[in-house]
């Protein structure tokens, strides 16, 4: 199989280059016709914030991948980008890489849950633009299946791997029902926004946002359907919240020991969780000395993130086993692409002989007898061809020994003088394949 591919990703290049080369949906739609015209008969372009990859079947059997890279750079010129920033893949290596990407083990954050959807979306663009054939469809269907199996059968996607999500995980170890709790997120930057979204996703009962710039607070509050606590009244409102997450860029503490002590008094000592995910810190760390105050900062939350990342790394060998498993299945299917035309030609060959012979006796026997003979010969052919058909397909589907498959196919062709049959996977018709299986069962 002559699948080829290139990849620029977090392992090969710095963030600036990856960001600059990133192709959005419209750019991919514009870029694909160029690839179709000059390089590939079918292909897929995957582009996320951490990788841009192109895979496809070249129009000509050439293993120089530089033209693909050049085409990409010409389409989206980026200063400083070089051939060395790209990984190159061929055949089996290309399939394996696609499966690894889909299962999340090639992601910057191992087990990233978004990549599977992104791979699926990329393939759908190719399909919409008529740039994907049977073989490529099978590769990506299997890749998506691999990704789903990795999530279902391993713990590759489990545990918080961002500080914001780790904060929510700790909160869940203190409170059981977040839908009965109230939370305040201070700061509406990227980290604050992520924390607010995570809390909203966990069905927090009441969510409020506070920020120095009112406009930004309003924007975030609208996004997470939360309330706004004006920044100047922040300290007077602290007692109303069970969870306070602070992520501002302030240089000094915005919440002092005294603020929390008086808030706790007003709460009648009901427990409060403080998550300080700002650098430098927003909350005086001495507050952790107060009973019923659970205070966590970046350092403590990072411990959870690191533990979970290590746990995910430990799952990689299990995912790799799934990848190998799916590759065996895929190559088994691929081998049948060579075998199916041979089987079809063999059956046609015997069918022709049967028809010839039937034609010869058609006028020598009665109509009733002819129908009986026709039926008998059809069944006879079915029985004669059943075993070779099943055996040949079995050889192909196990995919264990391609040479053995080729040898059996060759012997069959020579024995019955079947001549050349098309072996190009691209000409394979899935519907005919299904029909064959149905016939065989019958």
d(CA 28, CA 45): 7
Of 193, 177, 159, 178, the closest CA to residue 277 belongs to 193
Structure token digits, residue 90:
């061929």
For another protein, which is the closer residue by CB, 222 or 299? Answer: 299
Judge contact between 1 and 91, C-beta under 8 A: yes
Residue 57 bridge partners (DSSP): 42
Give the residue from 154, 157, 158, 161 showing the smallest Cα distance to 323: 154
Residue nearer to another protein on the CB measure, 269 or 401: 269
Cα atoms found within 13 Å of the Cα of residue 22, Cβ hemisphere only: 12
Nearer to another protein, 271 or 422 (CB): 271
Q: Which long-range contacts (CB under 8 A, 24 or more apart) does 258-261 make?
A: 259/235, 260/284, 260/287, 260/290, 260/293, 261/287, 261/290
Q: Which residues bind another protein (CB under 8 A)?
A: 170, 172-177, 269-271, 288, 291-292, 294, 296, 299-300, 303-304, 307
Distances (CA, A) of 370 to 120, 127, 359, 381: 55, 50, 10, 16
Catalytic residue (choose from 14, 16, 25, 49): 49
Alpha helices in 248-297 (DSSP H): 257-266
Residue with Cβ nearer another protein (177 or 232): 177
Does the annotation mark 49 as catalytic?
A: yes
**To the nearest whole angstrom, how small is the minimum distance from the Cβ of residue 303 to another protein?**
6
Closest separation between CB of residue 306 and another protein, Å?
A: 10
CB of 149 to another protein, least distance (A): 16
> Can you tell me the distance from the alpha carbon of 183 to that of 195, in angstroms, rounded to the nearest whole number?
10
Taking the least distance from each CB to another protein, the nearer of 18 and 296 is 296
Whole-angstrom Cα distance, residue 183 to residue 301? 18
- Which residue in this structure is represented by tokens 């919440």? 255
Mind telling me the catalytic residues? 49
């Amino acid at each position: 199989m002559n699948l080829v591919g290139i990849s620029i990703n977090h392992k090969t290049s710095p963030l600036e280059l990856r960001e600059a080369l990133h192709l959005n949906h419209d750019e991919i739609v514009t870029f694909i016709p160029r690839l179709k015209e000059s390089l590939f008969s079918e292909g897929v372009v995957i582009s996320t914030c951490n990788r841009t990859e192109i895979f496809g079947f070249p129009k000509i059997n050439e293993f120089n991948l530089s033209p693909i890279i050049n085409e990409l750079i010409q389409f989206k010129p980026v200063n400083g980008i070089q051939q060395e920033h790209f990984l190159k893949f061929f055949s089996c290596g290309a399939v394996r890489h696609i499966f690894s990407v889909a299962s999340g083990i090639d992601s910057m954050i191992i087990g990233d849950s978004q990549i599977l959807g992104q791979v699926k979306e990329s393939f759908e663009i190719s399909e919409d633009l008529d740039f994907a054939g049977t073989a490529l469809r099978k590769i990506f269907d299997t890749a998506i299946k691999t990704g789903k199996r990795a999530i279902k059968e391993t713990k590759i996607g489990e545990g918080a791997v961002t500080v914001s999500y780790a904060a929510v995980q700790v909160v869940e170890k203190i409170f059981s029902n977040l839908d009965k709790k109230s939370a305040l997120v201070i700061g509406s930057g990227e980290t604050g926004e992520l924390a607010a979204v995570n809390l909203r996703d966990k069905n927090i009962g009441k969510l409020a946002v506070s920020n120095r710039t009112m406009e930004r607070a309003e924007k975030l509050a609208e996004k997470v359907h939360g309330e706004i606590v004006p920044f100047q009244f922040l300290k007077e409102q602290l007692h109303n919240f069970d969870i306070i997450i602070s992520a501002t860029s302030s240089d000094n503490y915005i919440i002092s020991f005294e603020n929390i002590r008086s808030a706790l008094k007003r709460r009648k000592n009901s427990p409060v969780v403080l998550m300080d995910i700002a650098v430098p810190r927003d909350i005086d760390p001495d507050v952790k000395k107060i009973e019923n105050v659970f205070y966590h900062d970046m350092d403590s939350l990072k411990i959870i993130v690191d533990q979970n990342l290590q746990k995910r790394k430990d799952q990689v060998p299990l995912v790799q086993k799934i990848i190998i498993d799916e590759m065996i299945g895929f190559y088994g299917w691929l081998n049948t692409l060579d075998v199916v035309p041979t089987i079809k030609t063999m059956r046609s060959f015997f069918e022709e002989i049967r028809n010839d012979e039937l034609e010869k006796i058609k006028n020598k026997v009665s109509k009733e007898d002819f129908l009986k003979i026709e039926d008998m010969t059809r069944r006879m052919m079915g029985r004669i061809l059943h075993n070779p058909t099943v055996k040949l397909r079995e050889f192909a589907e196990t995919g264990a020994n391609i040479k053995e498959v080729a040898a059996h196919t060759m012997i069959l062709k020579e024995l019955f003088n079947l001549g050349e049959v098309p072996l190009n996977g691209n000409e394979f018709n899935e519907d005919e394949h299904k029909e064959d299986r149905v016939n065989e069962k019958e």
